[in-house]
Structure 1
């Protein structure tokens, strides 16, 4: 590798130094922005929001799948209710609500 210092003029050396100073100043400014507390907090918030969005998205997909599975149990392919499954569940719900209502009335007396 040839020594370029011997062939450069003082003006070229000064220009190279100034260019390197400008690049160094830009790099230091960028480092300053990256380690600034607001930037650090903003980056942390963005990571948390991204994680929450991802988690909520997965939860939504799972809930939607569960609702579809339950709906499939009570509705046929044509969209009509399956009475052989709906009626027993409705009677069970009415019975539980009735027992709860009786229990509440007895406690008030």
Structure 2
């Protein structure tokens, strides 16, 4: 067989592999930024949910705290969960609200 028949095949394979490499490299940053954006949206939603729980239940007797350490906020929320009849979901939302 003559080599002139293999050149178009080789060029086509090289072009396809180069295009797939470029497509893969360009899609990676977009996927990473989309994942980061989704994570930020989830954090904002859980923060809003924790604030909603605080305003519904805790603000009747307490002002919003300036800040708790994670250890202290865990203890406080566990104790107040029983007194305020909070669900486990509400407890977790409050913990995320106190410690973003």
Normalising by structure 1, what TM-score? 0.37
Bigger relative contact order, structure 1 or 2 (CA pairs below 8 A, ≥6 apart): 2
Normalising by structure 2, what TM-score? 0.39
